[in-house]
Amino acid sequence: MTLAQLQVFVAAAKAGSFTRAAEDIGLTQSAVSQMINSLEKELGVALFHRSRNGITTTSIGERMLQHTREILQITACMAEEASSARGFSSGTLRIASIPSMASRILPGLLGAFRKKYPAVEITLFEGKNDEIHHWLSHSVVDIGITVFPEKELQTIPLIQENLMVILPQSDPLHDQPHLSFDQIEERCFIMQKDTCYKSILLENSIHPKATIEVRDPSTIVSMVQEGIGVSIMPELSVPLTTAKVRMIPLNPSITRQMFIAVRNWQTISPLTAEFALHCQKYVEES
């Protein structure tokens, strides 16, 4: 088997169609089909279920896909180390992040990294914690920024944020330096649909009467602005451009820790290791 076959295999699995995969990687549909057929013949197993609706990986195909991603990751590491030895850095870096980090800190962090390494191609995946953990464990991404990382992942702390009470600017409590949950317990709450975030509240004996649950933090803030209710949110989830709302710390304070996570620090590429160090330095200096 060849690296080209393995790259086509990953592209086809991602696209769910030989035709779309061919468009994505600049080959003909016939070439993609022939390379997959040749790979299946060499392995002696069917990698895909074919139907009129497209393709899906078989159970053995899914396992082979994980091995393939690991092989491609290793070859990428080899190329990056060789590139580094020649005195410059290039390659591809696949990063996964929870939305709050992606909206508030990641743009500046990535901008600074791109200035330092303009030849590096960066692919950003945004998702929930369980999605990020799945992407890491299956080598879909190289590094993730997450909370409550699974035990099999290896992590280092990155940043700690406070949970804040979000009130309309016109609220009678808007000028308080901090608020206890007792002061807002009877309010209408607009809460984020996030099990990890909810577990933090439960661990601290906070049980909001969530009248409305919303996925998008920006929508929550907009609803608070309109006086529909109040919310408790991680500080970094609140957009920087927010107006007509007040963010007030909870008392006693509740914090959420974010982590940089990888499968194994010993096997990551030099580029991934450099990005991890860059994250730490950027947060320390911000």
Structural domain spans, the chain: 1-64, 159-256
Indicate if the alpha-carbon torsion angle 253, 254, 260, 264 is positive or negative. positive
pLDDT at residue 80 is higher than 80 = no
Cα–Cα distance, 35 to 22 (Å, whole number): 11
Q: What is the pLDDT of residues 2-51, one digit of tens each?
A: 888 898 999 999 999 999 988 888 888 888 898 899 999 999 999 999 99
pTM of the model: 0.66
Percent of the chain with pLDDT over 70: 95
| Average pLDDT, rounded, for the chain | 86
Q: Which fold has domain 159-256?
A: D-Maltodextrin-Binding Protein; domain 2 (3.40.190)
Q: State the pLDDT at residue 241.
A: 66
Task: Classify domain 1-64 by CATH architecture.
Answer: Orthogonal Bundle (1.10)
Q: State the pLDDT at residue 142.
A: 92
The H or E element containing residue 6 is helix 3-15
More confident residue, 88 or 20: 20
